[in-house]
């Protein structure tokens, strides 16, 4: 399941970036929340962190630092087009999947100390990674659906659980 999610996430983002207009991808769900493109930006930046942590486990390191989103995200061009950002995410994820292919059942119980969370296993890290993908993909989809909900007229009440803003 984890590998499947980690494999399909970049495929989904590639397709979204190919078919959706730039303005929709850059539109936040509501002011102060991330747009779909900002979610992809975060996933792309975070990929380096997950790859680093995976390699820590594979190399038998006993600890790794916490996540500093500012340092990781500075390495991504904030002006990147959706296509360029999607391509970069795909490139990074492909490298991660190659490293993930080395993981065996025995590796999953390996432990390391996370600087903020304490002891964690590789299996837990992999589950967090897949959940992180899904979390930010759902967040992006919420941003993408807002103008569609607002334009749905009498069907709008059907989306009450998903409507984040009353004005466009």
Each of the 168 residues of the chain gets a pLDDT tens digit; together they read 999 999 999 999 999 999 999 999 999 999 999 999 999 999 999 999 999 999 999 999 988 877 776 665 556 677 889 999 999 999 999 999 999 999 999 999 999 999 899 999 999 999 999 999 999 999 999 999 999 999 999 999 999 989 885 544
Does residue 167 lie within any of the structural domains?
Answer: no
Tokens of 104: 């065996």
Domain count, the chain: 1
108 inside domain: yes
Q: Is residue 23 part of a domain?
A: yes
- The answer to whether residue 94 is domain-embedded is yes
Two tokens at 132?
């992180």
């Amino acid at each position: 399941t984890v590998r499947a999610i980690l494999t399909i996430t970049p495929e989904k983002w590639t397709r979204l970036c190919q078919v959706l207009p730039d303005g929709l991808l850059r539109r936040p769900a509501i002011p102060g929340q991330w747009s779909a493109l900002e979610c992809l930006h975060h996933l792309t930046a975070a990929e380096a962190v997950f790859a680093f942590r995976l390699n820590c486990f594979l190399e038998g390191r006993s600890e790794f630092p916490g996540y500093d989103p500012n340092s990781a995200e500075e390495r991504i061009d904030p002006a990147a087009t959706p296509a360029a950002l999607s391509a970069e995410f795909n490139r990074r994820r492909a490298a991660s999947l190659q490293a993930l292919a080395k993981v065996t059942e025995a590796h999953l119980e390996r432990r390391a100390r996370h600087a903020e969370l304490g002891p964690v296993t590789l299996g837990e890290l992999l589950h967090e990674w897949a959940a992180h993908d899904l979390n930010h993909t759902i967040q992006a989809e919420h941003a993408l659906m807002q103008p569609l909900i607002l334009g749905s007229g009498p069907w709008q009440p059907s989306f009450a659980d998903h409507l984040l803003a009353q004005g466009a």
